Chains A and B, each alone.
Chain A
């Protein structure tokens, strides 16, 4: 798999460690939730150079107390139709205050990148040989954001309010006075 981050295909400096394998002596490692829970005492000194991998049936609530301390969290999409990780991603960013790399792994498709980015992902495992330019073009296809999300993009509601406040009136000349209360 290739790693797409900040619109570039980059080398992956993280090593994924199987649950039964020995932990490599140095360098950043990604472990499963089970491994983290089992070897937490040994791994904790290596933070933030430890990454956590969550399956789609493992909500981040299972590791809530530690989430913000990891250097990387990888969320799995076993099938692109399994959308649980979109919610997990928002919780990880918005509720648990995670600021490290949030990586989408598994069945990651070009036409889902925009949704993933909005939910807080910033790194994507994509098929080897994928055309980075074609894939990154997906981010710019839709510019309008109707909802708040983890990307903190300015929403249409906010932009509309700014326009109305500047104008002081609706396009038809109607006053905006009194419209700020329920």
Chain B
């Protein structure tokens, strides 16, 4: 069984926390950007049977965007705390590396690729929000 790496308790805490409100917000955000995520997956050539490492998956909001492409694990309804993901990713072959800090991302990606992931995908906001009036 491949080793799955998720956020460790020793890492810097996520500033927004993991309250119900924040998990719901992450789920809402995932829904808002589902079309964007789906286009990325299509562009990446994701197909059934591939093993995906989702870097920076948040509360694993990618599963809805992924659903037309890959089967959805039965117990993956968001919102889910990161710590609850291990059983799901073991079943689906979808691993996540969430709550990443820059100093740990390289090591975690390398370890997960060695655990036989075939596609590595990362998605982050560009850090620029604009309003044109």
Chains A and B bind each other: no
Q: Hey, which bits of chain B sit against chain A, CB under 8 A? A: none
User: Which A residues have a C-beta under 8 Å from some C-beta of B?
Assistant: none
